[in-house]
Structure formats: C-alpha cells, structure tokens
Structure 1
Amino acid sequence: MIRAVAIVLLVLGLAGLALAAFDKEANAASGKALYMKIEGPIMPLTERFLSRAIEEADESGARLLIVELNTPGGLLKTTESMVDTILDAPVPVVVFVSPPGSRAASAGTFITAAGHVAAMSPSTNIGAASPLAGDGQRLLPENRASAFQRIESLVDRIVERRGRDRDALMATAENAASYSAHEAVDAGVADLIAQDVEDLLFRLDGWSVLLNGREETLDTRSLALFKIEKTYLEHFLNFISDPNIAFMFMVAGFFALWIEFVAPGALAFAPGITGVVLWAMAIVALGTLPVSAIGVALLVLAAVLLFVETQIQGIGYFGAAGVVSLLLGGLLLFGDFTRPDIQPPAFDPPTIRVNLFLVLAISLGMFAFLLFALRDIRKSQKTGTTASTTPDSVIGLTAVAITALSPSGTVTLGGEEWTAVASDERPVEQGTEVEIIKQDGLVLTVRQAGESPSETEP
C-alpha cells in the first residue's frame, strides 16, 4: 500500500513539472513581456525588486523584461549588484528611461547602460554620475579615488558585455557629463528613442541582442504586456526604510521600553511589547540603509544617559548630555564626515539622512520632557503623600481604585495617581478601597482593604 502511494506521488510530481515546463513554453510561444517601474533612489530594496522581476520573467517564459527607470541615483554598492544582475540576466532586459521629463542620473546611468537595450523617451536625460557621499556632498580625495576605481571596473564590465562607448560613460563620472536622449544615442550610451512602451515594443521588433554569449533576435509583435507590481511586504519595507521613519521608530521604541522599565507590567506589558516591535522594525530598516556606526553609538549613548537621568537624583547633566547625543546621533546616523565642496554638484543627488527639522523637533521635545515630566516623576518617587514615600513608607496605607484593577489599573493616594496591581489577580471594582502591601518603583501591589493576608494568598 505504501509503495503504491509513493508511486502515485512520484507520478503526480513529474506531471506537475511537465505542466510547468509546458506552461513556460506556451507563454514563450504566445508572446509575453513583463514590465516594471523603478522610481526614486537606488537602494538595496530596489535591487531585490529587480532580481525578483528577472526571476519571474525567466520562470514565466517571458520574451523580455522592460524596466522603466526614473532615478536621481543611489548607492554605489547596490548599483554594482544591479548592473551585474542585468548583465547576467537569462532574459533580455530593456532599460527604458521614461516617461518624458525623467532622468537616469548617477547610478541610473550605469543601470541603463547595462541593459541589453538602453532606451530613452524624448525630454529625458542621463549622466551626472560623479560619486558623492550619502549626504550629497563630494567625497574626500582618498574616498573619491576608491570610488572611481570601482566605477572604472563597473564601466569596463558594461563596455565588454554591451559595447557602450567607454569615454562617454566615464565622462559622466569624471566630469559629471549629462546627455539628452538624442545626445546619449549619438554618444553610444543609449540605443534608441521611443515615445512610450507601445512605441518601444514596435521599435524593438527585429532588434538583435547578445544574451549570455549567443545572439538573439527580438520578436515583439503582438506581445502581451504584464506589469510586475511590488508586494505588500516590499511596500512596507520601502516605507520603514525611509531614514526619517527609521529614526522615529528608534526614538519611539526607546520611550516605550523606558515606560516599561519605570512601570513594569503597566497596561498588560503593552509599552514593552510596543518598544520591542518598534526596535525590531528599526533594525530591519537600518539593514537597508548606509548606517554610520558613530551615529548609532551616539543614539545608544543618548538612550543610556536619558535613562540614567530618570533613575538618579541629579541636576540634569545626564539629561542635557543625552539630548545633545540624540541631536548629533540623528544628524550623523546616515551621514559621514565629508567636508562641503565649494562647487555644488551639477544635479540634485539623493540624500540619505534624517531631516534636520525632525531631529530638532524631537530633541526639543526631549528637552521639554526633561524639564516637566521628570520633575513630576521624581516628585512621585519622593512623595506618595505629603509624607515621604520611600520604598517602605506607603506600605500599609489605604488608596482608592479610580479604575477597575483587572488585575492592573490606577489608584489614588494622597491626591496622586499610581499604577497598581491586585495581589491575587482578582478584579477590584472602581471606587474600592485597597491596602498597599508592596511597592516596586512606581507600581503598587494592593489588596482590598479589610482582607487578611491569608485571603489574598493562593
């Protein structure tokens, strides 16, 4: 019986493989092209999207993949990876700088040139590929030399595989040269000009490309065009990988964790759980961005100093140092220490850094928190009533539940509100008098007034 089941499963598996192969051949025979859009800075998530599209085009038997490109540039490391992915693609990749008014600046220059066919719409431009720092400033001489070596190697690979004009490509990096669509075709950087995707397919018919060492002639007549969209996960990752969002997640996560440390167990551990989730998303976001180790170290130092300020009785030195560290850490989180150049770049490069006004707003908010909130926290730490509330002074006193305790909630003691937890985890109704039997920081453990210890112990 077991042998018969195994044979049936094997036959079904082979049949599935055969159907998949037949479907791929059928798609290729019927004529299918995939189409995707890349807009905005070139980042690691962009490379993942491109790799997925190429893989999907290959698996579905598509005749070619059209990449509509509009980018101000991006990371050199990601550009190198994307160029190699296109050069080794198992299906023809047509990079199309479109619609009119778009550009393939900086990193986009080499991505376009790496395509089996490089096409541009009228009123588009390509070039201005001088290497810059993440904050948009020109690199220091020693870093600039290293970057140019990598660009030269990248251009040589493109020239070898695609036959582009090397001098014209290098001029975009060495002299920030920029070409219009017609100039790019004349200079040997691009292959053709098309109005839109339909016009592009018309002009590609009969075009010969070199695909992994063999020459192929494109047949683009009556091709069915299918657009590849980003997945929900890719949209979410794009959202959190914004430097401003990543920074806000880090700061909000710190505050949530701080609340959990100050009032453990409050709100059913919601602050602690929220803090962990926010920090996890921040770490994921930082993994897609060029993070400065100094920026991260300053933010961690700020968190430590601000936490220390809330735990000891000082005169604000730790808090002030924490705010300064937060300000500097936010500004340097995605930047470096390049000096500004006298001559600005010839184009508007993508800047990967936290918005200055956002950092200032958060730092000022932190300063206000230190001035007002910490004063109240220390007051509650010092005086639970008009008398001193040292760890043993409130034990035995009677408070009133101003919210239901199920098992946690809020009680009032001497005109001040405290977080409280019922000792036996039995619900305590609002308005009930409770006796304090334990204090842990700003959290009180209570039982209903009049109950004996034996009644509250399991």
Structure 2
Amino acid sequence: MMIRKIWQSICVGMIALGILSLMANAIPSLTAQPDNTGIILDLNGPVTPTSAEYLSREIALAGENGTDLVIIEIDTPGGLVTSMMDIVKSILGSDVPVVTYVSPQGSRSASAGLYIMYSAHVSAMAPATNTGAATPVEIGGGGGGEPFETPVDPASEEEGSDDGTPAQEEPGEDATAEEDTASSDEPAPQSQTPALANDDAMRAKAINDAVAYIRSLAEKRGRNADWAERAVREAVSVTSNEALELGVIDLVADDLDDLLAQIDGMVVETASGDVTISTADIQLTRVEPQFWEKFLAFFADPNVAAILLSLGTLGITAEIWNPGSIFPGALGVICLLLAFYSFSILPHNALFFGFMAVGVILIVLEAYTPTFGISGLAGLALFGGGLYFLFPEQFRISPLVIITILSFTGAFLAMVLIAIVRSRSHRPLTGAENIRKLEGSVVEWNNEKGTGLVLVDGETWKARSKAPLKAGDKIKVVEIDGLVLDVKPVQNNSASLSRFVPGLGSQNS
C-alpha cells in the first residue's frame, strides 16, 4: 500500500509539472505577441539575383506571418532587369503594405531602384537623396545582352518634347519636290519611316519596353508617368524635394520615426484589397539577408570584381612563368571564377575587357622577350585604362583601387625582370656552358697518351691535353666533348713547366 501511494504521488507530481511547463510556455507566447508588427529590409548595392531572392522571400513570408508593414530601405545605383522585375512582382502581389524609403541621407535610388519605388504602396525619400536615370543599356557592352539599367548621357538621345517623345519633323521643300517629280506609275511607299539598324532596333525595343513598364507602374500607384518616361528616355534625375513636387514620391521623411508618423493612417491598395496603415506602437524588426546571400552580394561590388580579376591574372601569369608551382595557378583560377560571377551581375564593356586582355599578353611577353620594360609598361597602361572604363560611370572602380592594383602588378613585373637580368649575368649552372672555362686539378695523368683524370667543380672527369701534366697540376677547361674535357695548364703552373725548360727553376729561385 505504501509503495502504491508513493507511485500515485509521483505520477500526480509529474502531471502537475507537465501542465505547469505547458502553461509557462504558452503564457509568454500569448503576451509577447504585439498587436502591430513590421519588418525592415535593406537594398544596399546593385539589384542582383541575390538581393531579389532576399527581398522576394521576406515579402512573401511577411504575408504568411501576418506582418502588418514592410519597409525597404534603398541605396542602389541600379540593377539587372530580371532581378528588378522579381522584386516588383513580389511587391505588387503582396497582401502587406510595402513602403520604400531611400535612406540614409546621401543615398540614391537610380535606375532599377526607380522602378521598385514606383511599384511600392508608399514611396518616400530622406533629404539629400536623389532618384531617376533609368535608361536601359546592354549588359556586356554589345547587342543581344540583357538590359542593365544605368544612366547614359542625355545628349546621346534625340531631342524631343517635355514628355520625352521625339519631336515630329515638318516636311520641307525637298520632300515636296520629290513628291511632284515622282512618277504616277510607281507605287507609293507604305511608310516614310526609315528602317532601323539592328543595334538601333534593339535599343529602341529596350527603351520602349522600359517606358511602357514604368508607365504601367505609375498609373497603378497614381504617380507621375510623364516624368518617369523622361527618366527612361533622357536619364533625368531629381532630388527628394523635386521628386515630391513632381509627384514621383509620396513624402519626404527625415528619419524612420518621421516616416512612421507620416504614413500612419494612410489607406493603400494591396493584392487583397484596401489596407489602412497603422504605425501606433508598431514593433519593427530588421531582417538581414542570409549568410550565403551576404557572401554572394559581396562580389557584386565593382572594386571587388577588379581585385579578383587582377589576382586571377597575376596567379595565371605566375604559373606560366614558373610551371609546376600549382598554388599561384589554383589561386588564379578561383579568383577568375569569382570575378566572372561578378561580371555576370555587373554591367561591363567588352571592348575595354579586350584592352585588359591585350595588356596581360604584353606583360607575359615581357618575360619571354624582354624589351627593357617597354612591353610591360604598355601592358600596364592598357590594363589600367581597361579597368577604369570597364564599368559604367555609376559603377566605376575607385581610382585608388586601380592605382593599388597597378602598383602591385608593376612591382611584381619589376621583380620578375630583375630576376631575369640577374640570371643572365651569372654563368650557367648546368650543361656544357657551366663546365667550360672552369679550373680544376689533375688527379692522375699519362703523358704518353695525353689523357688522365681531373677534378673540376667537385666531380672527376676524363680529360685530355696536348701539354704535359702531372698529378696536382692546376688546369683549366677549354672545351667539353661528350664526357671528355679538353684542358690546358694554367699560366702560373711554373712548377710543371720547369721540368721541361732548363734553368727555369734556378731563375725563379
């Protein structure tokens, strides 16, 4: 009976502990859940597939988790069209209000960032920021590539009207004269518009498509569509205050607290219907990209791409100069692969990439056909110039990085040239050239045959000589014939000569 009561007490106690533990876990989860939550996401740097995956995933999770607000802080020079469209689609399909905020002060939202701002439910900018310049260009610097958005010189575009459409030309006297003199029997042309060349047609398609896309976003959010078209056709940019006056954005906020205060009570249209934004007692959480996304985003920096390309080039060049060293070649291949990944998500001009390739070839040739540094210096100049103009202006590599790369490469080239000059100033270390003109001593000799053994450079050789010799005499190698040395006595070998010249020993004594 006693044991039974003990077991009953133990069971009751365990059940009671279990219930208490469940209550302890449930109470914090109920009390810790705030009424109003929001997340802050970062778009810092180029718009790439990595950043698009990060933003799209977090916007989708915000809707699944019942988050009330998503704020995207933007500081970007532009990005890939496909990545930008992925972000825009996620914003347009979001059940949660998405607010884009160009921040902190001094930031920009150029090119692809403008499209993302136009798609947001609320678009805001901090003071001393700018946006615009959304003219598409071809990635890689050639036709057929994927448009990469970055500003171009407006002067390169045709002059047009204020809304960005080209001005219509009035027919002149030449056109009228041509019509009068044209034969009535000839069929009238169907169109007076000249056919575009292939490159011009591709550019026109990219620009017109970009114009239609951003106008559709402007019409959906009630923003200035005409200015958006000018941003695409003429690459115009505006400050935050100008953007507010033009109706490009909804508000200018000094900081995050000011932004929350201004958007409180706004009614926006989401994918699930109208939603009233409430920021009273909202709890914001900043959601960082995953480690792998941060790792890949690191290589979307033009300066990092330039450094990787330079290290890869030096590694491959060192492997060519010194075959079998393995480590420089392996390091060079890894750096080149990472550099090529950077080029796949950054705009670059293939022409200047060719300049860099020619520069590398000239640097390598300097080692094999020395030109007293002329070829090497020309290669460095081409390599540095190619680096500077490789990316568009807003993605241009820092001059300090270029100077550092050229200095390091020049020092490496100088070390190689010094090593080559020193190697040519020394006598050969192997082969016939190494043995010729060396001195040694006779080990044993047969004057009748004129042959014997000599010790030269620590090795015993068969030798022959026309002059008589004896063991211990100093000799000098004249020529090498296979494994036999032709030798002669050294000039100060007076001891051996005194035996054959009478009186030589007494004169010396």
TM-score category (smaller protein): 0.5 to 0.7
State the partner residue of 2:385: 328
Q: Which TM-score applies when normalising by structure 1?
A: 0.62
1:433-452 paired onto structure 2 within 5 Å: none
Tell me the amino acid that sits aligned with residue 88 of structure 1.
G
1:93-139, Cα deviation, whole Å (9 max, x unpaired): 11123456655455443322210122345x35554436387896516
CA RMSD of aligned residues (A): 4.1
Give % identity. Answer: 30
Q: What pairs with 1:252-401 in structure 2 (closer than 5 Å)?
A: 252-266=311-325, 269-312=326-369, 318-335=375-392, 351-356=394-399, 358-360=401-403, 362-363=405-406, 366-367=409-410, 369-371=412-414, 373-377=416-420, 379-380=422-423, 386-387=427-428, 389=430
Cα distance change, pair 273–190 in 1 and its aligned pair in 2 (3 A): same
- Describe the shift of the 1:229–1:315 C-alpha distance in structure 2 as closer, same or farther (beyond 3 A): same
Q: What is the Cα deviation at residue 35 of structure 1? A: 0.8
| Contact 2:352/2:387 (<8 A) preserved | yes
**Structure-2 separation of matches of 1:322 and 1:214:** 62
Q: Is the 8 Å Cα contact of residues 46 and 300 (structure 2) preserved in structure 1? A: no
- In 1, Cα distance between equivalents of 2:352 and 2:91: 34
Partner-residue secondary structure (3-state), 1:287: helix
Mapping of residues 49-448 of structure 1, within 5 Å: 49-71=54-76, 73-75=77-79, 77=81, 79-99=84-104, 103-121=108-126, 123=127, 126-129=130-133, 131=135, 138=153, 140-141=156-157, 148-173=207-232, 176=236, 178=238, 180-181=240-241, 184-185=243-244, 187-212=246-271, 214-266=273-325, 269-312=326-369, 318-335=375-392, 351-356=394-399, 358-360=401-403, 362-363=405-406, 366-367=409-410, 369-371=412-414, 373-377=416-420, 379-380=422-423, 386-387=427-428, 389=430
What secondary structure does 2:394 align onto? coil
Instruction: Please say if residues 268 and 275 of structure 2, whose CA atoms lie closer than 8 Å, have aligned partners that are also in contact.
Output: yes
Question: d(CA) in 1 for partners of 2:366 and 2:55?
Answer: 47
Q: How far apart, in 1, do the equivalents of 2:371 and 2:231 lie?
A: 57
Rounded to whole Å, the distance in 1 between the matches of 2:219 and 2:360 is 51
Amino acid at match of 1:189: V
Unaligned runs of 5+ in 2: 1-30, 138-148, 158-199, 436-456, 458-509
Residue by residue over 1:38-89, the C-alpha shift from the partner in whole angstroms, topping out at 9 and shown as x without a partner, is 3455555543442343234234332231112344x32473545543443334
In the TM superposition, residue 225 of structure 1 has moved relative to its aligned partner by 1.3
Larger-gyration structure (1/2): 2
Contact preservation (8 Å) 1:86, 1:115: yes
Amino acid paired to 1:276: V
> What CA distance in whole angstroms lies between the structure 2 residues aligned with 1:109 and 1:208?
22
Q: Following the alignment from structure 1 to structure 2, what is the Cα–Cα distance between the partners of residues 187 and 259?
A: 57
Query: What code does the residue aligned with 2:298 have?
Result: F
Write the distance in 2 (CA, Å) between the matches of 1:98 and 1:367.
Answer: 40
- Supply the distance in 2 between the matched residues of 1:35 and 1:82 (Cα, whole angstroms): 15
| Paired residues of 2:265 and 2:278 also in contact (CA < 8 A) | yes
Post-superposition shift, 1:202? 4.7
Residue 355 of structure 2 aligns to a residue whose secondary structure is: helix
Q: 1:370 to 1:216 in 2, by over 3 A?
A: closer
Q: Tell me the secondary structure at the aligned position of residue 214 of structure 2.
A: helix
What secondary structure is seen at the aligned counterpart in 1 of 2:345? Answer: coil
Give the Cα–Cα distance (whole angstroms) in 2 for the partners of residues 282 and 184 of structure 1.
37
- Greater shift after overlay, 247-256 or 368-377? 368-377
CA distance in 2, matches of 1:271, 1:308: 18
Take 1:231 and 1:61, find their aligned partners in 2: how far apart are those partners? Answer: 21
Q: Does the 8 A contact of 1:32 with 1:225 survive in 2?
A: yes
Structure 1 stretch 353-362 or stretch 322-331: which is displaced more?
A: 353-362
The alpha carbon displacement at 1:158 in A equals 0.7
SS at match of 1:351: helix
- 1:107–1:129 contact (8 Å) kept in structure 2: no
In the alignment, the residues of structure 2 paired with residue 28 and residue 87 of structure 1 have an alpha-carbon distance, to the nearest angstrom, of 28
1:161-182 CA deviation, whole Å, 9 max, x = no partner? 222232343355567363544x
Partners of 1:392 and 1:233 lie apart in 2 by 58
- Tell me how far apart the structure 2 counterparts of residues 89 and 246 of structure 1 sit (CA, whole Å): 34
Residue 196 to residue 372, structure 1, CA distance change in 2 (3 Å): closer
What's the TM-score, normalizing by structure 2? 0.57
User: 1:362 offset after TM fit, Å?
Assistant: 3.8
Is the 1:28–1:62 contact (alpha carbons within 8 Å) kept by the matching residues of 2?
no
SS in 2 for 1:74: coil
Shift of 1:334: 1.9
Aligned residue pairs, count: 352
Structure 1 residues 392 and 244: CA distance shift in structure 2, 3 A: farther
1:178 corresponds to which letter in structure 2?
V
Distance between the aligned counterparts of 1:128 and 1:118, measured in 2?
13
Q: Distance in 2 between matches of 1:33 and 1:241?
A: 28
TM-aligned CA distance change 1:93 to 1:319, over 3 Å: same
Decide whether the 8 Å contact of 1:172 with 1:178 is kept in 2.
no
Deviations 1:169-216 (CA, angstroms, capped at 9, x unpaired): 3355567363544x6455433334555434544544443322236333
In 2 relative to 1, CA 28–188 (structure 1 residues): closer, same or farther, beyond 3 Å?
A: farther
Task: Work out the CA distance in 2 between the residues paired with 1:100 and 1:357.
Answer: 25
> What's the counterpart of residue 341 of structure 1?
none
Deviation per CA, 1:192-249, whole angstroms, max 9, x where unpaired? 4555434544544443322236333444444321111233444443433322222122
